[in-house]
Amino acid sequence: MTWLLQGIYDLLAQLVCWIMTALVGFLNLIVAALAALIGTLVELLPEMPLMPGVPSEITTAASWVNWIFPVGTVASFFMFILAAWLLWQAVAIALRWAKAMNE
């Protein structure tokens, strides 16, 4: 008798698996249809105009400012300081956890 109940259970489990697979396939079709719709809508948009160029006077002034005050080097230095500080904070948290576990 248990073999009959086991067979029914296996059939129902397989049926649930088939239903779930069908639902996943249906959701994938919906996502693909939405992606195609969004792609079509994006294709209908007009071309974006090009950005206007920077006037040569501003470019010249920026190069002089960069020669006097090296903006790129200063930005790199502050990014290094920020990364070092964040690393220090992460190590400090890990050490505090290690200390709390030993107590």
Rounded CA-CA distance 52/58 in Å is: 13
**66-102 pLDDT tens trace:** 888 888 899 999 999 999 999 999 999 999 999 998 8
Is residue 50 scored above 80 in pLDDT? yes
Q: Domain of residue 34: give its range.
A: 1-46
In a domain? residue 61 = no
Rounded CA-CA distance 100/92 in Å is: 12
pLDDT of residue 44: 92
Structural domain total, the chain: 2
Mean pLDDT of the chain: 91
In a domain? residue 76 = yes
Identify the band that residue 12 occupies on the pLDDT scale cut at 50, 70 and 90.
confident
In a domain? residue 6 = yes
Q: Does 1 lie in the same domain as 42?
A: yes
Q: Is the pTM of this model over 0.75?
A: no
Q: Does 71 lie in the same domain as 41?
A: no
In a domain? residue 5 = yes
Is residue 103 scored above 80 in pLDDT? no
Q: Does 42 lie in the same domain as 79?
A: no
pLDDT of residue 76: 95
Whether the CB-CB separation of 30 and 22 falls below 8 Å is answered with no
Percent of the chain with pLDDT over 90: 52
